[in-house]
Amino acid sequence: MQFDINATTILIIIGVLLVSMTVHEAMHALVGLKLGDDTAAEQGRISLNPLKHIDPFMTVLLPGILLALGLPPILAAKPVPFDPDRVKYEEFGAAMIAAAGPFSNLLLALLAAGIGKVVGVSGILDVILTTFVYLNVALFVFNLLPIPPLDGSRVLYAFAPEPLQRVLAQIEPFGFFVLIALIFSGVLGPLITALNGAVLQYLL
């Protein structure tokens, strides 16, 4: 994504991230409700209000600190709660709730790419739509990585044999630190770049 980094670009990126994050989290909550668990709905998480999904540390403070240190920003929304005992289809229901978030980002990327191709926008609208495509593809790919606490780990858990399920359960309490270590070690970078490129090939 070749943009000049200026105030307008930064505002566009922030706006796109807020919209994309909000849709992602709201879809987790909505699918949970459809599968019989109203835990997230009762907390007001089926909402397109970004304030319902912002976590003061993970969404604001942590990425701000990392940017100030010249490091890649890592941010996450407030986790959407669910009660596995109330969800239909047991582990597969939990996997459907988890997958709803990343696939909502893929849908946003498809819509933005489709609008760009059909309407043929230019200027600032082209920047906004292109940002929507790139950032939502990145959110789709990143969140589907099978590493706790990312959504992909919950999807993998539903289909994994029992020994692997036990490993995932043991990793989960420390998953955030494992993820940070993998990111800053450079292990995940090439993989994520390749996966992003593969998805973008079909959209742009």
Residues that are catalytic:
25
Helices (H), 69-150: 90-119, 124-143
Compute the distance between CA of residue 153 and CA of residue 93 in angstroms, rounded to an integer: 14
Q: What are phi and psi of 89, to 5 degrees?
A: 70, 15
- Each as own residue / partner, the long-range contacts of residues 142-146 (CB below 8 Å, 24 or more positions apart, any chain) are 142/192, 143/24, 143/101, 143/102, 143/105, 144/99, 144/102, 145/188, 145/192
